[in-house]
Chain A
Amino acid sequence: MNRLLMRVLRPRPMLGPHVFRLDNVSVGFRRNAIEERSLKHALAALVRDRRQPLHQALDDVSLSIRRGEHVGVIGRNGAGKSTLLRVLARVITPQSGRVFVDSTVHVVPLLELGIGFQADLSGVENVHLAGALMGYSYEDIAGKMADIVEFAELDGFIHEPVKNYSSGMYARLAFALATDVEPEVLLVDEVFGVGDEFFMEKCVARMHRLMAAGTTTVFVSHNLDFLIGQCDRLVWLDEGRIVADGPAPAVAKAYRAARGTS
């Protein structure tokens, strides 16, 4: 009862111009967690705590992202970039710290192309299904279907099961769906590595249009040149901690210098 009262009475922070605010957020993964997923292990742990130590994917991260900002997240593999994006997308609930997301904005996480697609369903059916996951109504999607099919260049194939699509066709359809409906916030995790060069150009042009229209974007990518070109701000993560956070050219220069690639 007290906890409920505390939750109700606790003052909500004013996000103001910010879409996201993270205060001292930490996320840890237990190593060898597979062994721990058993009743046998849980019972043994009652006698003796044999739990493995946590690997901190995010360690005391504080960060704010303003409305309309274009932020790139850089760092080596395992630095915590994707975990950060999943925290912003509210897929991961951190073990400590607080996450505030402006509930009035429509956030579309593009952590992988084609999430929710079912191989045996047709393109149209998958667009409706995955569209529902992104928070769009049947009518929203139906109204945009012609544009989605046109962008994805799937006219004539859209009623075929997506298991018959090439990887390029699949990626085009998924990207077209995620971006055609013009989300207010787009969280993108390394999804530009698929499809041919022409498709890449189309995707970048589409992203430019969305960003110019005011869509807040957070990109996770290893393509530093791409991020410098698209983002006004870079956040550099290493071992779950923020090493640098600032204007894209300055952070990119420091990152390259640290890696000895400048």
Chain B
Amino acid sequence: MDRASRRFTWLYAKSQLKLKYRYTALGFLWNLLEPGLFLGVLSFVFSVVNRMRISDYAVFLFSALVPWRYFEKVVTTSMDSIVQGDWLMKKLPVSPFALPLTRWIVASAEFGFSFLVVFLLFAVLKTQWTIHCLILPLSAIPWSLLGLGLGLVFAALFTFFRDIRPVVQIGLMLAFFTAPILFKPDLFTEHTIQRSMIVWHPVTYLAALFQKPLYDGAWPSVLDWSVSFGVAAVSLLAGVLLVKRSRAQFYFYL
């Protein structure tokens, strides 16, 4: 990406964040309240399903749900970024990476705000804090890179095939409900299809990067790190290559 596109990406992302909160006194607060309410309702409902104390379940749920919502937002908002950026892509030689990257920066900043909410809630709900929480910034990296990679892949595909949006949304929904985010991985007994599904689900390992330090008070395993960074690297590579290969075609499909 050239220097002009890099500078634009940064300024554009900053301006998007600024505009989002400029005219609303409750803007920043709403950004905290919205995930707070969402998490509150979910924890109330699913603590019953999981037969856990609500405070205990809330800590488990929030730890993986917040990064999932960040990942989902990066993917869905990046998907139409090139198409919605036709006002720019058809007028200036800006890098096609600039627009998905802008969405990624905005979502990352909002993820930071969301984690503020989580820590405020955890201050009330969590009884014991351990040193393992210090690893969380590193845990966010594979989630972020996976989101960016898939965001780039879908941004390129959506430019050519405008009807892939529902396919992507269903795919994300399936991934969410089959991963151990709402339920604990040990809910299913050994040698069942559900258990195998969890073992082979890449989100299981990404979720563990947050669940283990925050809920279990433990370090994520080598397998958790390897699978998470491996999946993120592959998706990022695929996204970068796909956008690079198809960039010359974008103009004709915008």
Contact = CB atoms under 8 A, between A and B. Distances in A.
A27 to B, nearest CB: 9
A121 B92 contact: no
B93 interface: yes
Contacts, number: 75
A33 B161 contact: no
Nearest to B98: A133
A129 B93 contact: no
A150 to B, nearest CB: 23
Given A39-B163, A118-B19, A120-B22, A132 B8 contact: yes
Interface residues of B, number: 30
A135 interface: yes
Given A118-B19, A132-B4, A37 B160 contact: yes
Contact of B161 (A38, A133, A135): A38
B32 to A, nearest CB: 23
A125 interface: yes
B11 A128 contact: yes
Interface in B1-51: 3-4, 7-8, 11-12, 15, 18-19, 22
A129 B11 CA distance: 6
Given A89-B92, A111-B91, A38 B4 contact: no
A104 to B, nearest CB: 14
A132 B253 contact: no
Contacts of B88: 115-116, 133
Contacts of B161: 37-39, 42
B33 to A, nearest CB: 23
Nearest to A125: B15
Nearest to B22: A120
A120 B253 CA distance: 28
Interface of B: 3-4, 7-8, 11-12, 15, 18-19, 22, 87-94, 159-164, 167, 247-248, 251-253
Given A90-B93, A129-B8, A135-B4, 13 more contacts: A30-B252, A37-B161, A39-B161, A39-B167, A86-B251, A91-B89, A91-B92, A93-B248, A109-B91, A109-B92, A109-B93, A116-B88, A138-B7
Interface of A: 29-30, 33, 37-40, 42, 86, 89-93, 109, 111-112, 115-116, 118, 120-121, 125, 128-129, 132-135, 137-138
> Which 6 residue pairs spanning A and B have beta carbons closest together?
A93-B248, A135-B4, A39-B161, A90-B93, A132-B7, A132-B8
16 contacts: A38-B161, A39-B163, A39-B164, A86-B90, A91-B91, A109-B91, A111-B92, A115-B88, A116-B8, A121-B15, A121-B18, A121-B19, A132-B4, A132-B11, A135-B4, A138-B7
